[in-house]
């Protein structure tokens, strides 16, 4: 069972990738804001919810 939903910006960066992995390991559902559809190999089988866009998008 999920602890809840958390949104992560910068998830494809150095720290963000590790944060996403840690959140999944702790039982969170993770929603990612990314500029392009990209899945880190470390996330295989974790299935984060990817939202394509940027913080400056209207």
Task: State the pLDDT at residue 55.
Answer: 84
d(CA 20, CA 15): 9
CB distance 53 to 30 below 8 Å = no
Q: Would you say residue 58 lies in a domain? A: no
Task: State the pLDDT at residue 44.
Answer: 81
Task: State the pLDDT at residue 23.
Answer: 95
Task: State the pLDDT at residue 42.
Answer: 78
pLDDT by 10s per residue, the chain, length 58: 779 999 999 888 899 999 999 999 999 999 998 887 777 787 788 888 888 888 887 7
For residue 43, the enclosing domain spans 5-52
Q: Which residue(s) pair with 7 in the sheet?
A: 31
d(CA 21, CA 44): 10
Task: State the pLDDT at residue 52.
Answer: 87
Tally of domains in the chain:
1
């Amino acid at each position: 069972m999920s602890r809840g939903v958390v949104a992560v910006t910068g998830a494809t960066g150095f720290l963000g990738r590790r944060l996403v992995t840690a959140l999944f390991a702790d039982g969170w559902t993770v929603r990612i804001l990314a500029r392009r559809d990209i899945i880190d190999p470390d996330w295989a089988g974790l299935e984060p919810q990817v939202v394509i866009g940027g913080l400056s998008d209207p």
